Amino acid sequence: METVTEHQHDASQKPRTRFAPSPTGLLHLGNLRTALFNALLARRDGGDFVLRIEDTDVERSRAEYVQALCEDLRWLGLDWQEGPEVEGIHRPYAQSARQPVYDAYYEQLEAADLAYPCFCTERELELSRRSQRAAGKAPRYAGTCAHLSAEERQARRDRGLEPTLRFRVPRGRTVTFTDHVRGPQRFDTDDIGDFIIRRADGTPAFFFSNAVDDALMGITHVLRGEDHLTNTPRQLLLLEALGLEAPSYAHISMITGDDGAPLSKRNGSRAVSELREAGFLPEAVVNHLARLGHTYEDNALLSLDGLAAGFDLGRLGRAPARFDESQLRHWQREALHALPDERMRQWMRDAAGELLPADREAAFMATVRDNVQFPEDVSRWCRILFGEVPEPDADVRAWLEQAGPAFFQAAADAGGDWQAVTGAVKEATGARGKQLFMPLRLALTGLNHGPELPDIHGLLGEDEARRRFLQAARRAAAEPAQ
């Protein structure tokens, strides 16, 4: 038996990787991690990262999804060296604009009788699959149209039948290749039915345009989801028949959701744009994704260059990786912590909007910086510090009542800075530790956690703090809220 092996690329050659999404929905984290790994591999070795749009499914592809995915990639800093918007020598990068390229290769295959028109209807194919299954066989194309004469083909055309084009899979061979993640792979060509490479409307099927473009665009490494593993032998056979050079492949594990099923555009998985809108930082998203199915020695937050430097095909795992939002939140905390002051200020400004008085900006940011993870945290602290203390719930009311009105009256009467306040309350009530600080915190913010109390007191100012202590005194006396 002969074997087909992918071309061994010259090790000194710089990697050319690609991300080739179909614009049929918004990118989710599964798609995005594929993009990230491809971008990191190219970046690590100074190669090129290509973006190609696989929009051959005209029914489902939409221009606005192309725009959205470009925006998502740019937001994360995954700039491409060739592709839409930037172009390049292999243009065009949208498959819908590459039909003449595919047509030339179809002709080449048909001329060599390596492909043939198939006139079977969807109904006929379904019946054939059903009877194969009933006989306990894995369904594959039965070869009905494999050996039609020129006259038989013409007769079918005359009846108005529009054929698809099928690739004639060579029989009795073994296709082998070494996957960067899954190691040596073997497939018998006898298990592969002749497959469609051109749809009846003339547009290319995925197997075909995807493989042809990888070769024509000089792609050296294809990192893609494990869902594509069984496509690879077909694509290697096609490239061999066309005399085109194949890339090497890394089939990376799928990212699954809580239900254990792979994230998919169809199952409504959380879109990248939703994470952006919720206020996640791009640094948090890439640090999280880079560690889903790939291990790093360094558990600290890394820049894209750092992530690229530590990226290694040998560190890709085989097991599916479950998306865990608590991990993403961990990286959000790390990313915010590391954010340079100027960007932190801008992030808070955007989050606070009108709620933040310009003259209090610096003090506010210094006070709450370590207590906010999302824009909604910023706006909540604005509402609390520049608006009103929230109405107490049962827990808070219990704390206030236990401290009693005299406690808060003492705080209100103290005047002066924070030290003066705590000194006066201690002297009047004997309270200390949590019994001292928790009621004061609840009086000033209504929350049992938050920034340091001296900072909050300083930000509010003496007058506003007094007003809040008096309000707490009334609430502690169980008077109706005012």
Residue at token pair 């292999």: 90
| CA distance linking residue 359 with residue 415, whole number of Å | 23
CB of 269 to ligand ATP, least distance (A): 7
By beta carbon distance, the residue nearest ligand ATP is: 225
Residue 30 binds: one of ligand ATP, Zn ion, none (C-beta under 5 to 8 A by kind): ligand ATP
List 137, 265, 426, 434, catalytic entry:
265
77 — phi, psi (to 5°)?
Answer: 85, 15
Is 265 labeled as catalytic in the residue annotation?
yes
The stretch near ligand ATP (CB under 6 A) out of 91-99, 223-231, 401-409, 446-454 is: 223-231
Which of the 8 DSSP states describes residue 294? Answer: B
262 touches ligand ATP (CB under 6 A): yes
Q: Which of 254, 301, 412, 414 binds ligand ATP (CB under 6 A)?
A: 254
The stretch near ligand ATP (CB under 6 A) out of 26-34, 71-79, 92-100, 192-200 is: 26-34
145 touches Zn ion (CB under 5 A): yes
120 marked ligand binding residue: yes
CB of 435 to ligand ATP, least distance (A): 52
- Both tokens of 378, joined, read 């910023």
- Give the number of residues in contact with ligand ATP, rule: CB under 6 A: 17
118 marked ligand binding residue: yes
The stretch near ligand ATP (CB under 6 A) out of 257-265, 276-284, 360-368, 440-448 is: 257-265
**Kind and range of the H or E run holding 250:** strand 248-252
265 marked ligand binding residue: yes
400 touches ligand ATP (CB under 6 A): no
SS3 186: strand
- Nearest residue to 105 (alpha-carbon basis) of 242, 246, 245: 242
CB of 238 to Zn ion, least distance (A): 19
263 touches ligand ATP (CB under 6 A): yes
Closer to ligand ATP by CB, 21 or 83: give it: 21
CB of 28 to ligand ATP, least distance (A): 6
426 marked ligand binding residue: no
| CA distance linking residue 292 with residue 30, whole number of Å | 10
Q: Which of 81, 132, 144, 371 binds Zn ion (CB under 5 A)?
A: 144
Q: What is the residue-wise DSSP string for 230-243?
A: THHHHHHHHHHHHT
Angle between helices 453-460 and 418-429 (to 10 degrees): 110
Closer to ligand ATP by CB, 311 or 469: give it: 311
Residue 120 binds: one of ligand ATP, Zn ion, none (C-beta under 5 to 8 A by kind): Zn ion
Residue 123 binds: one of ligand ATP, Zn ion, none (C-beta under 5 to 8 A by kind): none
Q: Which of 166, 221, 224, 234 binds ligand ATP (CB under 6 A)?
A: 224
Q: Which of 15, 17, 26, 30 binds ligand ATP (CB under 6 A)?
A: 30
57 — phi, psi (to 5°)?
Answer: -85, 90
147 marked ligand binding residue: yes
The stretch near ligand ATP (CB under 6 A) out of 8-16, 256-264, 272-280, 446-454 is: 256-264
247 touches ligand ATP (CB under 6 A): no
- Both tokens of 269, joined, read 């998985």
209 touches ligand ATP (CB under 6 A): no
Q: Using an 8 Å Cβ cutoff, are 248 and 222 in contact?
A: yes
Q: Using an 8 Å Cβ cutoff, are 242 and 174 in contact?
A: no
- Both tokens of 4, joined, read 């087909």
- Nearest residue to 282 (alpha-carbon basis) of 342, 336, 321, 325: 336
Residue at token pair 């699959």: 129
CB of 225 to ligand ATP, least distance (A): 2
CA angle 66, 67, 71 (to 5 degrees): 115
| CA distance linking residue 214 with residue 223, whole number of Å | 12
For residue 294, give Cα distances in angstroms to 152, 287, 291, 310: 54, 11, 5, 10
Rg (CA), the chain: 32
Long-range contacts from 436-443, C-beta under 8 angstroms, 24+ separation: 438/399, 439/399, 439/400, 439/402, 439/403, 439/407, 439/408, 439/472, 440/411, 442/392, 442/396, 442/399, 442/400, 442/472, 443/389, 443/400, 443/408, 443/411, 443/468, 443/469, 443/471, 443/472
Closer to Zn ion by CB, 122 or 463: give it: 122
Q: Which amino acid is at 59?
A: E
Residue 263 binds: one of Zn ion, ligand ATP, none (C-beta under 5 to 8 A by kind): ligand ATP
Closer to ligand ATP by CB, 170 or 225: give it: 225
| CA distance linking residue 114 with residue 126, whole number of Å | 24
The stretch near ligand ATP (CB under 6 A) out of 174-182, 263-271, 389-397, 426-434 is: 263-271
Residues near ligand ATP (CB under 6 A) are: 21-22, 30-31, 33-34, 224-225, 227-228, 254-255, 262-266
Binding positions are 118, 120, 145, 147, 265
Binding positions for Zn(2+) are 118, 120, 145, 147
| Catalytic positions, written as ranges | 265
Binding positions for ATP are 265
